[in-house]
Amino acid sequence: MNKPSIILFDGVCNFCNHWVNFIIKRDKKKQFRFASLQSETARRLLANYQYDNKSIDTVILIEEGKIYTHSTAAIRICKKLSGAWPLLYWLIIFPRFIRDWQYKFVAKRRYAWFGKSETCRIPSAGEKELFLD
């Protein structure tokens, strides 16, 4: 069995939490594990990869020993989901600077558009096995 991919997300962002719920619902093979970027687990993981994440402006995917961020992370996540979502992987053909420009446009406005929670997401009893912290 393959080692699960790890998704690090902004735990206080309502949009990011919706995205995590979306992934969990469509991850039929339980290929992903989650941790908030605000957690000690995320800090340790990122330090192991010598990745400095000073601002929490991207989802981070750790997969097969590599780190992916911004649009590349989102596209690679979609590739593993059930349903038609893997079809979005074709977007990878566009240059990263174009994809990331669109990603960052939404990321900069996510709190204004979707709101922010006071605390990080707490997994339900059925989700606890999917979260690293």
- DSSP characters over 64-105: TTEEEEHHHHHHHHHHTSSTTGGGGGGGGGS-HHHHHHHHHH
CB atoms near residue 52 (< 10 Å): 8
Alpha-carbon distance of 92 to 75, in angstroms, equals 7
The two tokens of residue 51 are 């990745």
Average pLDDT, the chain: 90
39-96 pLDDT per residue, tens? 999 999 999 988 876 667 889 999 999 999 999 999 999 999 999 999 999 999 999 9
Q: What is the pTM of this model?
A: 0.90
Question: Residue type for 50, please?
Answer: Q
Boundaries of domain holding 77: 5-130
End-to-end CA distance of the chain: 22
- What's the total number of domains in the chain? 1
